[in-house]
Amino acid sequence: MTRVLVPLSIALTLVASGVSQGLLSDRWSSSAEEVVQQAREKLDELPMHIGDWDGIPRQWIAFDQSGAEKDFITRGYINHLNGDSVGLLIAAGLSRNVRQWHTPMQCYPAQGYDCAGPVAKSVIHLDGVEAEFFHADFTLPRASAPDHVRVFWAFSGDGHWLAPDSEFSQFTFGRYRTLYKVYVLRQLKRPGEPLDNDSCIEFLKVALPQVNKTFFQRT
């Protein structure tokens, strides 16, 4: 009897866990697509001007979705005080598909870039709230001059930006109906430049409060 009960208990536990995750992530809800569509519609509501940063439309060929439903926006932002510039990508989707969401560790090598060092994390302080971001440097080898870029990225379902050790953790994000992903990047003169006064971090300090207000503030 014990030999039967133990496997049965394990199986029931797995089923219960699957049902729980399904309910949390709207796996079987007919309203799930409507919810994620509403999240995607908010993308264009992000202001083009944020603090000292002025936005400009910028299409990234690597993320072109011609003929497909657009689930992201791409922009450039320029600081009109010091001339610093960054690129921004924000995507929205169902949290249940988080395991399918690629990161720069997939998309940049696919475009010919080499990762120029280990992936690291930075904590950005926002008026007492901490936002955690991955970051990594990438290099595109070219005969004329290599292209160096630094990318910061994180995920959020409620305004708390996280870079979990398991990037696609269903346990971290499964309780949210929708999920947002942010990339912020800039050009480098060389890989490994210090993070002090990094323009990506300076932009995120200003932009994240506005991002949270646009996407997560209840009306």
Q: Are residues 35 and 20 in the same domain?
A: no
Say yes or no: 14 and 51 in one domain.
no
pLDDT tens sequence across 178-194: 889 999 999 999 999 99
181 and 121 in a common domain: yes
Whether 62 and 110 share a structural domain: yes
Tokens in use for 76? Answer: 């450039």
Indicate the pairing of strand 53-57 with strand 178-188: unpaired
Q: What is the number of domains present in the chain?
A: 2
Per-residue pLDDT, 152 = 97
Do residue 67 and residue 143 come from a single domain? Answer: yes
Residue with tokens 């971090």: 201
C-alpha span between 82 and 110 (Å, rounded): 33
Lookup result for tokens 């998309």: 107
- Which residue range(s) make up the domain with 55? 31-215
Q: Mean pLDDT, the chain, as a whole number?
A: 80
Token pair listed for 169: 């953790």
Same domain for 111 and 175? yes
> Are 62 and 25 members of one domain?
no
Please give the pLDDT value at position 106: 87
pLDDT digits (tens, 9 = 90+) for 20-39: 344 444 444 447 778 778 88
Which pLDDT score, from 0 to 100, does residue 156 have?
Answer: 93
Per mean pLDDT, which of 14-18, 24-28, 122-126 is the most reliable? 122-126
User: Is residue 81 domain-shared with residue 128, that is, in the same domain?
Assistant: yes
Domain identity same for 53 and 144: yes
Structure token digits, residue 137: 């440097």
- Give yes or no for a contact between 86 and 199, defined as CB atoms under 8 angstroms apart: yes
How does pLDDT run across 93-123, given as a tens digit for each residue?
887 766 567 789 988 998 899 999 999 999 9
Nearest CA to 138 out of 64, 71, 208, 193 is that of 193
Q: Tell me how far apart the alpha carbons of residues 161 and 182 are, in angstroms, rounded to a whole number.
A: 9
Within this chain, do residues 3 and 73 fall inside the same structural domain, yes or no? no
Q: What is the predicted pLDDT for the residue at 60?
A: 67
Query: Per residue in 152-182, pLDDT tens?
Result: 999 999 999 999 876 556 677 878 888 899 9
pLDDT at 59 over 80: no
| Residues 16, 12: Cα–Cα separation, whole Å | 6
CA proximity to 176, closest of 36, 82, 59, 71: 36
**What is the pTM assigned to this prediction?**
0.80
Same domain as 56, residue 92: yes
Query: 59 and 5 share a domain?
Result: no
In this predicted structure, what is the pLDDT of residue 63? 52
